[in-house]
Amino acid sequence: MTVPALEIKNLTKTFPGVKALDRATLTLMPGTVHALMGENGAGKSTLIKVVTGILHGDSGTINVFGENVHFDGPTDAMDAGIGVVHQERNVVRGFTVGENICLSKMPRKGPLVDWPEVKIQAKRCLDMLDLAIDPDTPMTELSAAQTQLVEIARGLYTETRVLLLDEPTASISVDEAMRLFRVIERLKAEGTAILFVSHKLEEVFEHCDSITVLRDGKTVVESQPLAGFTRDEVIDKMVGRALAHLEAPQRSVDMTTVPALALNALSTTAGHRNVSFELRRGEILGLYGLVGAGRTELARSILGLEGVVAGTVKVKGEDVRIRSVREALQKYRIGYVTENRKEEGVFLLQPITTNIAVTVWSKLAKFMGYVPAKDEQSLVAEQVAQLDIKISSQDQMAGQLSGGNQQKVSLAKWLAANTEVLIIDEPTVGIDVRTKRSFYDLIWKLADEGMAILLISSDLSEMITLADRIAVMERFVVRGEIENTHHYEEMSQAVIRLIHPTSTPAAGE
């Protein structure tokens, strides 16, 4: 009988007012990939933080390869051979990629940092993920997904016997996730024990061997082989009650109307060439592509944040030239829900009222710019009710809300401004199954009410669930457009074929 790589018994951790972990138990065997599932707030991240010594448990035991351990801090855990990729981005933005990867243990030459070695080590970690990033690149030049990948590379830096991955694939594309899974397979073959947290059921079912499910801090499924479960069963265990299977509603779009937004052979300073599509009212057009394909940049080009080199943008059939988000909003009623919620979507230190009313002040303003607080509050209250945003008061800071509610706030400001075209960039990154479901319902409802929606996502299953049509973008060019049949297998094959026209789809995809 092999000794478990990591054995957690009856771990309890209490925060003021909340039991984040309630006698949680988990057994992680060497050479396996173990899925840790649960909704947001179920205690997954807390568990990982306790195991890595960032937080201290109230009671319970942790054994690493049969040896009882007490970690005072993250360095202790590292010395015991536990590597971790945290959910939050923990990179230092002012540093280079290489410095970030080696940050936990800088290679030294005497008292000085051994810079050539930093580069070699960083390169080794990046190569494992087939990442063509120069270790000297400053972090600030990376996209959100690349940052995430560097974060993963960091977890590979030290020799680890136990690797904890907290939602590593939340904001990376299928292609990049595939590279990650290749690394995971290799580490697994070498005997590393891997704990894998993800909200994406497809990934879990494809790559994991066993599963533990947490609900409200308690273990509801304890280290069982994954083979015995169906997707629906796992969801049931996570949310604690049967949740209807995600099924797209029957929708029909009137294709005879003038497109609410159309691009005609658009080329941009960001590098897009000949991008064309038409988006009608009531339609959800998916824009799918790998990271770096130029999807977010396309949204920015439409909003005037990148320059147009050739081609035209048409709003309701008329050629327009949009120069700023303000113009897009006020003149053409186009809104943009950013992929980067915390940095670009909400004002964390401002009240809910401010966060939602920011788009409508110019409309509410009376003589001398006076904005009546009452008008503002009633408008915000309307959105809070419509989107079912959980707040204790409008004066609450946005930073105090959960991720899902923050995302709703970042969407609500555009609904308050009566936009007709909404560009939604990665709407459900890091959001749990149940909240995701309510977001899907919301997006369908908005489309049914006549909103034209351009949905950008790197989550293929989300795309196949939500979109009416899918445009596939690669290297700043739209490779093709497919009607969505909502059959996962069929659609994912079609999408992969568009991205890799010459090669056959990769195994397992």
Partner 1 sequence: MTTVMARVKKTAANPRVFLLFLIVLLVVLFGSLKPAFLNGPFVLAPLMSSIAIFTVVGLAQMVALSVGHMNLAVGQMASLGAMVMGLCYDVFRMPLILGLLVGLVAGAAVGALTGWIIVKTGVNSFIVTLAMSFALIGLVPAMYSWLSEGAAFTSKPAGLDLIGRQTFASICMGNTCGTDAVPLIILPAILIMGLVWYLYSRTRLGREILVTGSNVKAAELSGVPTGRRLMFVHTLSGTLAAAAGFMVAASVGSFTPAIGSEFMLPSFVGPILGGTLLAGGFVSVIGTFLGITLTLVIRKGLDLFGVGLETMNVLLGVILLVALSTERFRLASGGRRRGGERPSGEPAQTDDPDQPDEALKDPPESVQTEDKELAR
Torsion sign across C-alpha atoms 201, 204, 205, 210: negative
> Tokens in use for 86?
């945290």
**Rg of the chain (C-alpha set):** 24
CA distances (Å), origin 110, targets 79, 107, 118: 21, 10, 14
Q: Does 157 bind partner 1 (CB under 8 A)?
A: no
Q: Does 59 bind partner 1 (CB under 8 A)?
A: no
- 49 contacts: CB under 8 Å, gap ≥ 6: 55
Q: Which of residues 418-437 bind partner 1 (CB under 8 A)?
A: 432
Q: In this chain, which stretch among 123-131, 186-194, 263-271, 395-403 interacts with partner 1, using CB under 8 A?
A: 395-403
Q: Does 18 bind partner 1 (CB under 8 A)?
A: yes
From the list 24, 128, 329, 452, which residue makes contact with partner 1 (rule: CB under 8 A)? 329
Q: Do 383 and 440 contact (CB within 8 A), yes or no?
A: no
Give backbone dihedrals phi and psi of 287, rounded to 5 degrees, phi first. -115, 100
From the list 2, 59, 90, 140, which residue makes contact with partner 1 (rule: CB under 8 A)? 90
Q: Do 43 and 49 contact (CB within 8 A), yes or no?
A: no
From the list 4, 43, 53, 289, which residue makes contact with partner 1 (rule: CB under 8 A)? 43
Euclidean distance between CA atoms 509 and 505, whole angstroms: 7
From the list 405, 457, 484, 492, which residue makes contact with partner 1 (rule: CB under 8 A)? 405
- 108 contacts: CB under 8 Å, gap ≥ 6: 114
Cβ atoms within 10 Å, residue 366? 9
Q: In this chain, which stretch among 122-130, 144-152, 273-281, 349-357 interacts with partner 1, using CB under 8 A?
A: 349-357
Q: Does 440 bind partner 1 (CB under 8 A)?
A: no
Of 432 and 468, which has the nearer Cβ to partner 1? 432
Smallest distance from the beta carbon of 110 to partner 1, in angstroms?
A: 23
From the list 60, 81, 107, 403, which residue makes contact with partner 1 (rule: CB under 8 A)? 403
Amino acid sitting at position 262: A
Of 244 and 367, which has the nearer Cβ to partner 1? 367
Q: Does 326 bind partner 1 (CB under 8 A)?
A: yes
Euclidean distance between CA atoms 433 and 239, whole angstroms: 8
From the list 32, 45, 146, 492, which residue makes contact with partner 1 (rule: CB under 8 A)? 45
Place of tokens 């973008």: 473
Q: Does 401 bind partner 1 (CB under 8 A)?
A: yes
Give backbone dihedrals phi and psi of 378, rounded to 5 degrees, phi first. -70, -35
Q: Which residue ranges make up the site for partner 1 (CB under 8 A)?
A: 15-18, 20, 40-41, 43, 45-46, 55, 74, 87-90, 92, 103, 324-326, 328-330, 336, 338, 342-351, 354, 357-359, 361-362, 364-365, 368-371, 390, 392-393, 395-403, 405, 413, 432
